[in-house]
A and B are shown apart, each in its own frame.
Chain A
Amino acid sequence: MNGMLEAVPEPEAKSAALPGPRPLFEDLYRGSRDDLYSYVAGLLRDRVAAEDVTALAFERAFRKWDRFDPRKGSARGWLFGIARNAALDELRKRKREVPAIEPEEQQAPGSVAGTVIDRERRADLLAALGTLSPADREMVALKYFGGLTNVEIAEATGYSSTNVGTRLSRAMTRLRSALQTDDSAPNEEVAR
């Protein structure tokens, strides 16, 4: 199964993710801000909540920055771990307070003519993502929205790298199945 993901090209490694001297918080912030937001928004499917959680994660990271130990892992993995806890707390809250919350409409910023993928395909993709379980969606969001490596995902989630690969592979298979189901079904609410 890991072979599947190894075939998927890794995104360009971020400088903050490299092991080495302790980075500056500002560098971590600049290098991770958009990725972190994308991951949280992909997991929560709610822009407003995603902004709150992203901001909260950066604030917590800022307060705990002195406690970050580069020897234990990358700064990005650590930061995404904080964001993950905040996002899961938000999910918990939703389950408790608003059990049947509908996913917020999500639009890619580049949804204008001339972008690489067309709007309809993006809508299908995000709709299919919404059908996944939060655990699968999280894996996809961490990997492709957050741009983390498998090792960083392992650091953020506490799973082993091998387990991360397996989970990712499973999530991608389910996403593909969901897309295929969508393709065969009448396309009704794809305007996400």
Chain B
Amino acid sequence: MSHDLETEFADLAEALREARPAPEPEFVERLDQAVADSFPPEWADEAALGKAGHGGIGTLTERFRRRMRGRRVLLPAMATFAGLIVVATVVAAVESGRLGDGNGEPTETGNRVLSAGGVDSATEDAAMPESTASPRSAESGAIYEGARLATPARKDAAVPGGSRQRVVALEARITLGTDPDGTQDVANEVVAVTDEHNGIVMDSEVIDGEAGKAGASFSLLIPTARIDSAVAALSGIADLKSRSQELTDITAPTNRTEDDIAVTRARIRSLLGELEDAPDEETRRELEWGLRSERSRLGFLEARLKRLERRADYTPVEVRVETGGDTSSDDESGWGLGDAVDDAGRLLGVAAGVTVLALAVAIPIGIVVLIALAINRAWVRRSRRRALGDE
């Protein structure tokens, strides 16, 4: 590099330094003031800056932050409100998921039934071995309609091409706690509730005595259509110690029995026809013997079908009333350390569930947001380089 060139660059550099633009005194004054005041929220508007950026300078986020800085209480309040809405939504979702368990007491069988009923019953029924149409009507009472988890739609659930319907049998066990003096009252209430629900007391036993010995037991049959209401009422008579409900799918045996009945009837009709045309006495005797056998079988099958239908129409409920121990109702409030531990456990479980659900929602959203931010950042960098003509 020649000395002339170096000198020329030095001169040029000096000329540039001297020609550099300087800020207007008014601008300097306003900016000094803004810095001295630590950039108050209104500085960008009131200091008459942002003349080029109409409506304030900076990004949307910066403008929003300036606005919100003047409302320090509002922002946390909005955040809290939004958080509460999220938590409430999640809790509602959790609770709605338990609706099928009835009265908030989930049972394993109950859950299983809900999921079985939740799928298209036609799909499940199609997998059953029986494929012939059933003569049994939908009003058998053994369909889901009468079950606790039933929905009206299930009444019409049927196998394609047939009228088969799911048949379920419910069973419930309730254990109540009370003090010895209250045993008789509880027993009376159990009977009253059973009557109210058109149920049947199959068996009952009331034992008087001291705490631990006194008690009662009942074997009830409650119409399946009203089992929900009956179980709820029975559970409320005294301190509920335990309750369980089981559900058995008796579709297959019911359908099989119906099919057997149809086949047997056909055989009887056939035998009757043959009997009319019997050529001799020996043949007639053989046919009559076969006819008796088939009729006997038909009677047996019909009785079995009736039992199955009754099993579906009526739900056996075992009620036990106990006294003594820490589960009796000596204390009307009935809430102690054990209950507190139970409640705390439930609360922690719900909190953990809510957390897991919240994370399940937040993590994918967070990933998407992070990807969007990364893309935006790359795009901004690239467009800055383009603005500079540096690409």
Contacts and interface: CB of A to CB of B under 8 A. Distances in A.
Contacts of B50: 52
B20 interface: yes
Interface residues of B, number: 44
B9 A62 contact: no
A109 B1 CA distance: 34
Given A4-B5, A7-B6, A38-B21, A135 B58 contact: no
A8 B15 CA distance: 12
Closest 4 CB pairs of A and B: A144-B16, A7-B6, A91-B387, A88-B384
Contacts of B52: 46, 48-49, 51-52, 90
Interface stretch (B34-42, B252-260, B360-368): B34-42
Contacts, number: 158
Interface string B125-164: 0000000000000000000000000000000000000000
Interface of A: 3-5, 7-9, 11, 25-26, 29, 33-34, 37-38, 41-42, 46-56, 58-60, 62-63, 85, 88-92, 95, 106-110, 115-117, 121-122, 125-126, 129, 133-135, 138, 140, 143-145, 147, 172, 175-176, 179
Interface in B13-54: 13, 15-24, 27-28, 31, 34-35, 38-39, 43-44, 47, 49-53
B37 to A, nearest CB: 11
Contacts of A126: 19
Contacts of B44: 55, 59
A58 B35 contact: yes
B8 interface: yes
B51 A4 contact: no
Contacts of A51: 23-24, 27, 49, 51-52
B58 A59 contact: yes
Contact of B9 (A5, A26, A54): A5
A112 B38 CA distance: 35
Contact of A55 (B15, B34, B386): B34
Contacts of A63: 39
B388 interface: yes
B192 interface: no
A91 to B, nearest CB: 4
A172 B34 CA distance: 36
A3 B1 contact: yes
A135 B390 contact: yes
B20 A38 contact: yes
Contact of A34 (B22, B35, B38, B49): B22
Contact of B12 (A29, A50, A88, A176): A176
A164 to B, nearest CB: 13
Nearest to B58: A56
A50 B21 contact: yes
B198 interface: no
B16 A52 contact: no
B51 A110 contact: no
A125 B15 CA distance: 8
B283 interface: no
Contacts of A7: 1, 6, 9-10
B32 to A, nearest CB: 8
Contact of B384 (A60, A85, A145, A176): A85
Given A52-B53, A144-B16, A107 B21 contact: yes
B389 interface: yes
Nearest to A147: B17
Given A42-B20, A58-B31, A59-B58, A175 B12 contact: yes
Contacts of A122: 15, 18-19
Contact of B387 (A38, A110, A134): A134
B99 to A, nearest CB: 49
A177 to B, nearest CB: 11
A83 to B, nearest CB: 13
Contacts of A117: 15, 18-19
A25 B34 CA distance: 13
